[in-house]
Amino acid sequence: MESSTTTKKITPYISEMAEGLVGSEIIKLANEINEKVRSGEKIYNLTIGDFNPEIFPIPEDFKNEIKLAYENGKTNYPAANGIIELRRAVTDLLFTHGGLEYGENEILIAGGGRPLIYAIYQALLDPGDTVIFPVPSWNNNHYCHLCGAVPLPIHTCAETNFMLTAEDIQPHIEKTSLISLCSPLNPTGTTFSKEGLEGICDLIVNENKQRDGNKKPVYLLYDQIYWQLTFGDTVHYNPVNLRPEMRNYTIFVDGMSKAYAATGVRVGWGFGPEKVINKMRAIIGHLGAWAPKAEQVAAANFLKKDEVVDSFLEDFKHRIEQRLSAFYKGFKTLKSLGHNVDAIAPQAALYLTVKIDIQGLRTKEGKVLENTADITRYLLDEAKIALVPFYAFGTDESSRWYRLSVGTTAMQELESFFDSLQNAITKLS
């Protein structure tokens, strides 16, 4: 008797969370840019929130401390919450430059800001809890998805520099578990005013008084990773200095990545209520998302050198501001010539918020630019300019605003950038 084998088709199964997780629009755009670069095209790539090490290297002293730490064999596991020397160095930095008093047990070291944000979401939220965040903003929708929280994005506008207001939040505060804010803000490079942040703090404090321990308080995630990069008259404000009662409800995200051009070094820190920090430590420990020990040792030694740190920051900030101001003036010049572009004056971080509204115009091939995706594609193909549209940060696709990042920009490229942009716009009819 012949035997027969029936092959049954097996449908692969993955979790609902993984099935619903969407990729980054920025990475999608980056892949297109990289393809053009590989084919030999010159692209003005102003998309990435990073630094070109050839233009913006990490501090020389910091680099030397990293080398020395490896030479001295600092390659074993670090303490779960970070080495004590670095946590003490962070307490000194926060007090000296930020006026914040946090003890070493209220600080958690991690491999950059992302594990800290993830740990905050996981430590504070249950599935179904509501999270308020502004759009545009960076990745809050994805963190909500990862932990099963309900996202409540609130659209902001140019009139408020795209910063969330207490008036925006107030109608939703009663059902909220977490408000996620970033100042200076990625993607806009804008900041909270003193009055604007005070209004949000008062709203949170008053809501938590009404809850009176009967349910979880409203917490505030305050990402201030860019706080040392402010320009001109811009002042960085934080919730705890403005309203001391916020200390019980605020968890900060901070680190080395942006202020020291050290995005790939992966040394970040969070700080806040000790109970929350301890739970975050456990989450990060299970993930193994520590900062490498050698880099922690190096960071601790570097941050103790006040004069070296201040000297680096002074020069670093000057060179970033120089680029932001030059781009801002260039966009304002194009606007004065009658082109439908605009920009918000630089305040902080390495980002400039720019507007390019050429919807409805027709290319020389006869194609109408019908939406922001068309505009973005035209800028890349015709002007060889790559910018990140705000819809990559959660706004609707009708927004004509873009993030322009200067961390990879050489000053000598600016004139040709604006020549290319103006030529591309002029070709439209």
Counted residue by residue, the chain has a size of: 429
Concatenated DSSP letters of 353-392: EEEE--TT-B-TTS-B--SHHHHHHHIIIII-EE-EEGGG
What per-residue confidence (pLDDT) applies to 11? 61
What per-residue confidence (pLDDT) applies to 39? 85
What per-residue confidence (pLDDT) applies to 85? 98
Alpha-carbon Rg for the chain, nearest whole angstrom, is: 23
What per-residue confidence (pLDDT) applies to 250? 98
CA–CA separation, 171 and 63 (whole Å): 49
In order of their start, the domains of the chain are: 16-41+311-426 (3.90.1150.10), 60-309 (3.40.640.10)
What per-residue confidence (pLDDT) applies to 8? 57
User: Residues of 60-88 as b/e, b for ≥16 C-beta within 10 angstroms?
Assistant: ebbeebbeebeeeebeeebeebbbebbbb
Amino acid at 301: N
What per-residue confidence (pLDDT) applies to 30? 78
Q: Is the dihedral of CA 292, 298, 304, 306 positive or negative?
A: negative
**H helices of 43-193, where?**
60-71, 84-98, 113-124, 140-147, 166-169
What per-residue confidence (pLDDT) applies to 9? 59
| Residue % of the chain over a pLDDT of 70 | 97
116: nearest Cα among 344, 337, 277? 277
What per-residue confidence (pLDDT) applies to 13? 80
Express each pLDDT in 188-233 by its tens digit. 999 999 999 999 999 999 999 999 777 899 999 999 999 999 999 9
What per-residue confidence (pLDDT) applies to 10? 57
The pTM of this model reads 0.94
What per-residue confidence (pLDDT) applies to 218? 98
Please state the separation of Cα 296 from the chain's center in Å. 22
Burial label for 135, CB within 10 Å (0-12, 13-18, 19+), is buried
Positions of the chain with pLDDT under 70: 1-12
SS3 7: coil
Express each pLDDT in 338-381 by its tens digit. 999 999 999 999 999 999 999 998 998 989 999 999 999 999 99
